[in-house]
Amino acid sequence: MKINLKNGIDKLVFGMKQSDVTALYGQPNSNYNDEDDNVIFAYNAQKMRLTFYKDEDFKLGYIVASSQDLELFGIKIMDKNINDVQSDMAKNGIAKFTQEAFDTFENYFNEANWIIFQTEFDEVVKFEIGAIINDMDEFEWKFKK
């Protein structure tokens, strides 16, 4: 599954509605509301959790994924050592990361692309990508019907 920076993952594009997503992937394996009343879809086969923001008319705005098939710049990222991933990203123009540690996990966040590589024991175990927020503090929705 290809990660499309600033746009989404695979066929998912930020700004899609729930009906757009179910047309592509069918009904989610689970569907619930988080503490902010955002709608969350979970797809087991794709190993993805999708967030549709309540305050944004329930548009797809955030994806958390852990599929072994995830690729960024044609490079598989899951279970790779974070140093190797950072080196691969630097070769593709993404060099600035903010690092945050908690328990045995570390997050490597790149704000320009709104991506997070989450590691445990120095290996990437989860990838997160969010819709871009512009200088006017508005989401840049990429999905056009």
| Per-residue pLDDT tens over the stretch 18-44 | 999 999 999 999 999 999 999 999 999
Instruction: Give 144's pLDDT tier (boundaries 50, 70, 90).
Output: confident
φ, ψ at 71 (rounded to 5°): -130, 140
pLDDT of 145 reads 74
**Hey, what are 9's tokens?**
């993952």
pLDDT of 137 reads 92
Overall average pLDDT of the 122-128 stretch: 98
Of 71, 72, 51, nearest to 130 (Cα)? Answer: 51
With a pLDDT cut of 90, the percent of the chain lying above it is 98
Distance CA 139, CA 131 (A): 7
Enter the pTM of the model: 0.96
Instruction: Give 116's pLDDT tier (boundaries 50, 70, 90).
Output: very high
**Complete DSSP assignment for 30-49:** EEEE-TT--EEEEETTTTEE
pLDDT beyond 90 at 3: yes
Chain centroid, CA 80 distance in Å? 17
pLDDT beyond 80 at 12: yes
Average pLDDT, the chain: 97
Q: Which residue has the tokens 């689970």?
A: 30
Of 127, 48, 112, nearest to 82 (Cα)? Answer: 127
**Hey, what are 130's tokens?**
């969010």
Overall average pLDDT of the 114-140 stretch: 96
